[in-house]
Amino acid sequence: MRAHESGLFYMSKILTTEYLSPVGKLLIGSIDEQLCLCDWQERKARSTVDSRLAKGLSAEFVCANSDFNQQAINQLEAYFAGDLTQFSIPLKLVGTHFQKLVWQGLQAIGYGQTQSYGELATKLNMPSAVRAVANANGANAISIIVPCHRIIGSNGKLTGYAGGLAAKKRLLEIEGVS
């Protein structure tokens, strides 16, 4: 909450925009010119993710068109068209210290590359934390841009994904992963 000159407190605002992407409906959200949300509209944990963001940012959700959200959508459209391999939109990661480490690890997985939960846990110097890494991966609120779709099973097969396995498969196909 921010103090107002009257001494009253008011909530910050997470500006949200719905975006119908080629792989499904996304909810784009930003606060203070940073992207805090790019997530599947219909995901099962929608209320859990939204609650974590609202609490962590002391903010309320407001549907509003914003130039910043449009910039994020423009980058997503360039990605879907195969013209963008690395996003440059500023991010606001909201989660525990451990979750943020995992999400930064996800960002280090290059375009067109994949890793298993175990490989990511090992790269984070926590080889026994495979389940915790998987849980943090599932809590990611900035899908596609923080590329949780690049995590596959240790057997090379697709594993669960908040946007559904068809969306995950399509995202990997866009990146040239068969």
Cβ(54)–Cβ(12) below 8 Å = no
C-beta separation of 102 from 137 below 8 A: yes
- CA distance linking residue 16 with residue 62, whole number of Å: 6
Task: Please tell me whether residue 116 adopts helix, strand or coil conformation.
Answer: strand
Is 36 catalytic? The answer is: no
- What are 8's two structure tokens? 């009253």
Tokens 């609650």 belong to which residue? Answer: 51
Longest CA–CA separation in the chain, Å: 59
Cβ neighbour number for residue 176 with a 10 Å cutoff: 10
List active site positions.
148
